[in-house]
Amino acid sequence: MKNYFKNKLVVSIEQAVAAPYCTAKLADAGARVIKIERKEGDFARYYDDFVKGNSTYFVWLNRGKESLIANIKDTKDVKLLKNIISKSDIFIQNLGPGILNKIGLDSTSLRRKYKSLITCDISGFGEKGPYSQLKAYDLLVQAETGLCSITGTEEAPGRVGVSVCDIACGMNAYSLILEALIKKEYSGKGSSIKISLFDSLSEWMNVPYLQYLYTKKSPKRVGLSHPSIVPYGAFLTKDKKNILFSIQNEREWNAFSKKIIKIEEKYRANFKNPSLRLKNKIKLNAIIKNSFYKIHSNILIKSFKKYKIAYGLLNSIKDFSSHPQLKTSHIKKKKQIFEFIPPVTLENKKDFGRIPELGEHSLKIRKEFKQ
């Protein structure tokens, strides 16, 4: 497979998830990514030790990168970093607001000096506004954006079980950098990208936001069901399997109500359209619950397939780990080999770079960029 990013140099002063997610994508695409770490290392290296003594987060997000230990309070190291950045195509950082301004490594200063440089600043709440100076972690932003208020059950709000704000921000940063690279191909000019966890998740919150803005009503927490589509949820079968399914149109409803759970004609008028099904949600869900409890999951699945109704099993992580659709690959760290779930790639890429030890490439990089 041709490497279109082979000659692209990315320098990233990064930690945690959002920026490393973005640079992992760039490394996967073939770019050379130099990860700048303090002497203690990216603190994500120590979130846990579940992967043969390594952090799950670090294994996931740092394949294919080079690790350079540098101290941004040391004038010699700052000089080294400036020299590396002067030869780079992309500079990314997700340190606290204003930290790099003191040493001339802020994006404004760098872009003024290097017109073709693409800079990307990742923050919690953005660089302006009353929250700009606050620390921000994924769950805090889930809470601030209202995501927790619509996640969970009627009894209590909940957290989305993965770092959704960090991932959204990293995805946005990656896509904006790709846009900037295309722009640079035509104009020769770099770009300044500024993206935050809050802004990234806010965009994802458009549906509940618009619903509230124009109705003054917030979506309710409904657990494993849908606030406006009925039926849509998980129900227990005769063999104690939870099957989650969704009815999206009248063809599906007619097949489901007449052929699968066989609702009596005298009750069908209560559920004849989506609005009535939503209005009579409790009654309908009770009928479905009683029906499913008498049917084996295999029979239900065959029926869903026959009538082209979307369904899924409520899997545990153990179930997911052996899912027949799951594709896995391998990455290395020294002599250790880890299995992981690879990202979507062009042309079925199978080889991914190694996970760096802390400072593994420091001597090589310092020699290469010595002035």
What angle, rounded to 10 degrees, do the helices at 197-204 and 164-187 form?
100
Is residue 244 within 8 Å of 233, Cβ to Cβ? yes
Residue closest to 169 by CA, chosen among 198, 146, 192, 140? 198
Which is the catalytic residue, given 166, 199, 319, 351? 166
Work out the number of other CB atoms within 10 angstroms of the CB of residue 332: 13
Residue 69 β-bridge partners: 37
Q: Where are the alpha helices (DSSP H) in 117-163?
A: 138-144
- Give the strand pairing for 242-246 and 310-313: antiparallel
> And the tokens for 107?
């994006």
Amino acid at 162: V
Residue in this structure with the two tokens 């991914």, named with its chain if needed = 352
Which residues, in sequence order, are CB contacts of 289 under 8 Å at separation 6+?
Answer: 235, 236
Order of strands across the sheet that contains 192-196: 65-69, 32-37, 9-13, 90-93, 118-123, 192-196
Residue 336 β-bridge partners: 333
Residue in this structure with the two tokens 């390594």, named with its chain if needed = 54
Residue closest to 166 by CA, chosen among 69, 57, 68? 57
User: Is 239 annotated as catalytic?
Assistant: no
Q: Where are the alpha helices (DSSP H) in the chain?
A: 18-29, 56-61, 75-86, 107-113, 138-144, 164-187, 197-204, 206-215, 250-255, 265-268, 274-279, 281-292, 297-306, 317-321, 362-368
User: Where does residue 216 fall: left (phi above 0), alpha (psi -120 to 50 degrees), or beta otherwise?
Assistant: left
Residue closest to 119 by CA, chosen among 195, 186, 64? 195
End-to-end CA distance of the chain: 35
At residue 94, what are phi and psi to the nearest 5 degrees? -135, 40
Catalytic residue set = 166
